[in-house]
Structure 1
């Protein structure tokens, strides 16, 4: 019996050792898995912490300015002669001749175009015949009066009839002989010989080009600062380096019924070579000194998006996007409404942030370096 029992005991002992070893291996694997999980969580926490640090975007901020400013308001307009006249047709007739060319100098009262005197709309020949007949009658009555053959009243009646016929003839002649009402230079010829001119149609334009003006339109909100006599700087986008000093000379008292804007004009002296020409597009910058302090901020702080103008207000270590209304501006500053005198706004770095972004305030000298570092980190 003992010989059979000993092998059984040995088998049990080996079984127990094997089971113990398995439990130890399982425990070791569990400890290894727990250690890896802990390490991954620690790495994730560190990564999240690093991400949070990156999200604190460096920006430059400054308090708003509240003071009197010499600001400018820019308008787009059209150049015209200091005096300019569009000579238009008053009747429907064929253009018979145009005795001038572009660039010709003309004097006041000079004929610049002639319409057909024999056309159906012209009364020139009828008026001319009536004038000549009245003139002959007057001369005959005067001779009879001098001879004592007629009364003074008869002569006066003949004189009156002559004056009426003379006025009607002059009116008929002005319909076919188009004259310039000013002295200047022919700047445009709108029709050719043989064309049919209709009432109100421009035939020739004459302008004074040594003295020019720019015509532009201002909105209702601009009337609070625009005043006649203000200095106005004038130039063309074709030659932004060629600027002329002018004076705001006229602002209409009523708005255009279509655009709801007010027409304004500024006069200036042309260059010696008469570079500025009527009909060209131009820029007028009206210089304005505010009579009262206004809130102004750097133009770099303005964020334009889908037709709105916004700024980022600094609130602790975050920013809040705020809509503003723009006013007059200078080269660097612009008047705004929608912020208070105590606000601080982001002036550099606005393209890197959005509403609610966490920020770090730095000075302007360090901004470019910080921005470059932030860009490299993002890569």
Structure 2
């Protein structure tokens, strides 16, 4: 009986001690876990950066033709894709109403001229009588005013007749340049208003490629900058081009800026509307570059970008906030907030915590 009590006396503290040790073991193991990582050296990347933008081939000069008067289209002389020359007939309106208006005004001009001749003759007679003091000065002034009014009426009607004659010529819609018909928006028999678009003429003298640039890169593109253009139809063909224009205001829907690059070489096979790729190379900079895999965002700060800095003396890691720049070649990304020569964790970053001890895999840091 005494032996059992003695055994129980020393087994009970031992069991409690083991139980406490077992409860505390996972936390201590976690605190002292040394995780394997790979690190890279932060360095300046002097290589130029090339960006590709999808674009479409357009004519630099494209005119939408419209009648200067209203009327009914009686003839449409072109189709989409037709080649036209300057002065060639594109469409014609019914001009019968304008011809009648011209005839009516011509008759009014003749009547006004007859009235003017009569007023001039009357004024001459009254001038003679005024010189003989047969009539008073007010009577003479009244006939002089009537003669001047008749003269101005003739001038006004002649101007209206000339305007009507011009309107008759406006019923013929002529091409204003050599080019190709790229669009037609009216048909024969349709009644159109003055200024309503009828057809588009794309000039063949110059061609350009239009593409959209996101707002974070619009400041990297400058007018007169040289770019390279390739075609989806012939990727091997490279065409030099030059930035001609950059939109001052972003598109309200896409929030991008439209840029236009003039093609310096135009092959015969190049057609309007072809899809192209614009290759824009930015000059080399001394951006600090790290692998994109080294960047992480804490769950508590999803909008913050950080990296793990490796301390070779303490063999631990410390989180450092960074600002991301443009993407570079070979999976690198430009960053600010670091210094050249620092070492950052490039593999295993998602499983680390502040101040955790780590060990390097392989021999030292991984080269970029």
Shift of 1:112: 2.4
Are 2:336 and 1:338 equivalent residues in the alignment?
Answer: yes
> Which residue, 39, 59, 63 being the options, matches 2:42?
63
For 1:19-38, list aligned pairs within 5 A.
20-27=2-9, 29-30=11-12, 33-34=15-16, 36-37=18-19
Pairwise CA RMSD: 5.0
* Residue in 1 that maps onto 2:249: 256
Q: Is the 8 A contact 2:40 2:344 kept in 1?
A: yes
C-alpha separation between the residues in 1 aligned to 2:343 and 2:168? Answer: 71
- Cα distance in 2 between the residues matched to 1:204 and 1:47: 80
Give unpaired runs (5+ residues) of structure 1: 1-17, 135-160, 368-379
Structure 2 unaligned segments of length 5 or more: list them.
110-156
Counterpart mapping for 1:184-333 below 5 A:
184-198=179-193, 200-208=195-203, 212-216=207-211, 225-235=220-230, 241=235, 244-251=238-245, 255-256=248-249, 264-268=259-263, 269=265, 272-274=268-270, 276-278=271-273, 282-289=276-283, 293-297=285-289, 300=292, 310=305, 312=307, 314-316=309-311, 317-320=316-319, 322-324=321-323, 326=325, 331-332=329-330
- Taking the TM superposition and a 5 Å limit, the aligned residue runs for 1:152-171 are 169-170=165-166
1:113 aligns with 2:111: no
Contact 1:127 1:165 in 2 (8 A): yes
Distance 1:90 1:57, change over 3 A: farther
Match of 2:169 in 1: 173
State the shift of 1:23 in Å: 0.5
1 CA distance for matches of 2:167 and 2:332? 56
CA contact (8 A) 2:310 2:343 kept: no
CA distance, structure 2, for counterparts of residue 308 and residue 203 of structure 1: 52
**Residue aligned with 2:95, SS:** coil
Q: 1:80 aligns to what?
A: 58
Larger displacement relative to structure 2 (72-81 or 345-354): 345-354
Query: Residue 306 of structure 2 contacts residue 322 of structure 2 at CA under 8 Å; is this kept in 1?
Result: yes
What TM-score does the superposition give when structure 1 sets the normalisation length? 0.58
Q: Check whether the contact 1:80–1:215 (CA below 8 A) recurs between aligned residues.
A: yes
- SS of structure 2 residue aligned to 1:234: strand
Between the aligned partners of 2:219 and 2:262, the Cα distance in structure 1 is 21
Q: For the structure 1 residues 356 and 83, does the alpha-carbon distance in structure 2 shift closer, same or farther, using more than 3 Å as the test?
A: farther
What is residue 11 of structure 1 aligned with on the other side? none
Shift of 1:169: 3.8
Q: 1:46 to 1:354 in 2, by over 3 A?
A: closer
Does structure 2 conserve the Cα–Cα contact (< 8 Å) formed by 1:87 and 1:202?
A: yes
User: Aligned in 2, Cα 1:287/1:309: closer, same or farther, shift over 3 Å?
Assistant: farther
Distance 1:281 1:170 in 2: 43
Question: Could you tell me the TM-score, scaled by structure 2's length?
Answer: 0.60
Q: 1: distance between equivalents of 2:337 and 2:40?
A: 14
